[in-house]
Amino acid sequence: MSGTPRLLLTFCDDSTLIFAVRLRALLRAAAPEAEITLGCYLPEQALSLRQLEMLVPEADYVLFNRETLIEAVQAGLYDAVLTSRVFRALANFLRTPALKHLRHRTQVISFLGGLDFFPERGYANRMPCDGVFLFPQSDTRKFAAWAREQAAIDSNVTAPLVDFGHPTFLAPTLTPPEDLDTRRDIYFFAQAISPLTRRGRLHVLEAMVALAEANPDRQVWIKLRHLPDENTRHLHRERHDYPGLLKAAFPEAPANLRLTACPMDEATEQAALGITCTSTAAIDLIREGVPTMVYLDYVDAYMDPMSAAMRRLFEGSGVITSLDDLLHLRTRAPEPDWVAQMFCPRDLGQRVLAMVAALQDRAASASG
Amino acid sequence: MLARLKATLLGKWLYRLSRHDIFGAPLRWLLDLGVAEQLDPAHWKVANRQHNARQAATLAAFRTRAGGAGQ
C-alpha cells in the first residue's frame, strides 16, 4: 500500500455501526497513521438518536447517499470500503464490468453481518466484492472454492480474496476476567424476533422471573437490544417487546429482575453469567470469557427458523443449555475446537490492511 | 412469521422494500396484519405440543420447588 491507508467503514443500523466501531478500533491499533472514516449510508439509515449518541458519541462520521457513495468509490477517494452490509448500489456498481475494472477505484471488502444463519444465501451478495472476510473457518474454504467455480464459468467475475475473521469474533481471552468471581449479575440478552411468538417470549420471560425469584441476592437483567420505539424501520422489528410483556404478564415480578438498554460492552463487563437464545451476544460473552448459556428449547421454538440455525452454528460448542441446567445455573466452558473454528486470531486489523494492500497490487497489475 | 419469510427470496425482497421511503411503512403495517402466529399449523404437530408441554412443566416444577410460582 502506498502511503497512509484511507479507509471508509460504512454503517446504517445498530449492528453495522457496532461492526464499524469495533473494526475501527482494531485498525487504529494496527495502523495509528491510517485515515479511517465512518460513513453513514442514509438510504438504509435505521438508527435512533439515542443509539447514535451511545455508539458513536464523537459523531465523527460523514453521510452518504447512493450517488455520493458510488462517486467516492469510483473516484478512489478511499483505498478501501470495509462493510458488513453490501448495499444494493455498491453491489450493482461492482457487477458492472466497466466499473469493476476501473483503474484507481476504491476496493470493496465485505464482512458478515454477524452470525450468519443461512450462509449459502450470502455467497452471491459477496461475490462481486474484491475481498471477503468470513467465519467459521470452514466457510472460508467453502466460499473460496465456490467463488473459483463462479469465476471459471463467468468471465465478468473475479474471485474475491478470502480471509477469516470478524471484529466481534476475536479469539477469547485466555484467562477469565479478574473480577469474575465477585460478579453477581445475570444477564439475558434479548433478540428482536427470537423467540418469535408471544408465547415463546413469555416463556423466556417467565424463566427470567423464576431465576430472579430463586436468586434474590442477584440482579437478573434483561438486556434489550433496543428500546421499543427504536429500529421501527426494520421488517423484523420486535413485535412483542419485553418491557410490554413484563408489565402485562408479570406485574409483580421481583424487584431484582430489571430491564436495561446499556451498551453491550458494559453488560459483558458486569455479567457473572450471560444467557441468550439466538443473539450474537453469545459470541461477545464467550470472547470476553464470561460463562455463557444458549437456550434454544423455548416454547414454540419450532416456529423460529433461527433456533435450528443457531443450533447448527453452536453444535459442538458445549454452551447450548437445557432449561433445567439454565434454571439451576449449571454452565459449561466452550469447547476449544469449536472456539478455534468460530473465533479468529486477534491480528485481524493487520490482516485487513494486508488484504487492502494485496487488492491494490492486484488492481495495479490487472490494469497494467 | 416474518423471520420465516426472510428465509426466502421473496422475503429478502420484502425486507429491502420495507425500508423504502414511500412503500416501507404501509408494507410493514400490512405484514403485521397478516401475522397470525397462533393459527400456524405447526402448533398441531404432536411432537411440537409435547415439546411445549415439557418446557412449561420444567419451568412450573422449578418455580414450585423454589416457592415462587405466584403468577
Give B62 to chain A, closest Cα distance, Å: 7
Q: Yes or no: say if A134 and A160 are a contact pair by the CB < 8 Å rule.
A: no
Q: Using a CB-CB distance cutoff of 8 angstroms, which residues of chain A are in contact with residue B27?
A: 235
Nearest CA distance, B58 vs chain A (angstrom): 7
A6-170+344-366 and A180-342 share one CATH topology?
yes
- B50 contacts chain A (CB < 8 A): no
> Which residues in chain B have Cβ-Cβ distances shorter than 8 Å to A115?
none
* Cβ of residue B66 closer than 8 Å to a chain A Cβ: yes
**pLDDT tens digit sequence for A89-135:** 999 999 999 999 898 999 999 999 877 777 777 788 899 999 999 99
B63 at A interface, C-beta within 8 A: yes
User: Can you name the CATH fold of A180-342?
Assistant: Rossmann fold (3.40.50)
Q: Which of A163, A108, A169, A170 is nearest to A133 (CA)?
A: A163
| Interchain proximity A252–B71, CB inside 8 Å | yes
**Position of cell 471488502?**
A109
Q: Do the Cβ atoms of B59 and A206 come within 8 Å?
A: yes
Q: How far is A198 from chain B (nearest CA, A)?
A: 8
Q: How confident is the model at residue B58 (pLDDT cuts 50, 70, 90)?
A: very high
Domain ranges of chain A: 6-170+344-366, 180-342
Task: Look at residue A123 in the predicted model and tell me its pLDDT.
Answer: 85
The DSSP bridge partners found for residue A223 are A189, A260
Burial A317-326 (b: 16+ CB within 10 A, else e): bbbbbebeeb
Please give the Cα distance from A254 to A211 (Å, whole number): 10
Could you give the 3-state DSSP secondary structure of residue A84?
A: coil
Between residues A238 and B46, which one has the greater pLDDT?
B46
- Give the closest residue to A275 by CA, choosing from A327, A316, A313, A227: A327
CA angle A84, B3, B15 (to 5 degrees): 60
User: Hunting for cell 453513514 — which residue is that?
Assistant: A40
List of chain B residues whose C-beta atoms are within 8 Å of the C-beta of residue A252: 70-71
Largest CA distance in chain A: 72
Residues of B whose CB is below 8 A from A300: 37, 43, 52
CATH number of A6-170+344-366: 3.40.50.2000
A21-54 pLDDT tens trace? 999 999 999 999 999 999 999 999 999 999 999 9
- The verdict on B33 touching A (C-beta cutoff 8 Å) is no
Residues of B in contact with A196 (CB under 8 A): 1, 3, 37
Mean local confidence (pLDDT), B17-33: 76
Q: How many CB pairs under 8 A join A and B?
A: 96
Residue pair A277/A310 in contact by the 8 Å Cβ criterion: yes
CB contact under 8 A, B55 and A299: yes
Distance to chain B for A275, nearest Cα, Å: 16
Q: How far apart are CA A289 and CA A89, in angstroms?
A: 39
Three-state SS at A234: coil
Q: What is the spatial distance between Cα A204 and Cα A9, in angstroms, rounded to a whole number? A: 36
Task: Report strand pairing: A161-164 vs A185-189.
Answer: unpaired
In this prediction the ipTM stands at 0.78
Determine the pLDDT at residue A228: 61
User: Are residues B70 and A252, on separate chains, in Cβ contact within 8 Å?
Assistant: yes
pLDDT band per the 50, 70, 90 thresholds, residue B15? confident
- Domain borders along chain B are 1-35, 42-66
CB-CB neighbors (< 8 A) of A43 in chain B: 19
Model pLDDT, residue A103:
87
pLDDT higher than 50, residue B70: no
Segments of chain A scoring below 50 in pLDDT: 235
Are the C-beta atoms of residues A112 and A85 closer than 8 Å to each other?
no
Instruction: Please check whether residue B49 touches A, CB under 8 A.
Output: no
Specify whether the backbone of A104 is left (phi greater than 0), alpha (psi in -120 to 50) or beta.
left
Chain A residues whose C-beta sits inside 8 Å of any chain B C-beta: 43-44, 46, 88, 118, 121, 193-194, 196-199, 203, 206-207, 209-210, 213-214, 233-237, 239, 249-250, 252, 254, 297-306, 323-324, 327
Which of B60, B47, B43, B69 is closest to A323 using CA atoms? Answer: B60
Nearest to A1, CA basis, from A80, A111, A72: A80
Sign of the dihedral defined by the CA atoms of residues A349, A351, A353, A355, in that order: negative
In this complex, the residue of B19, B55, B56 whose CB is nearest that of residue A233 is: B19
The three-class DSSP label of residue A127 is: coil
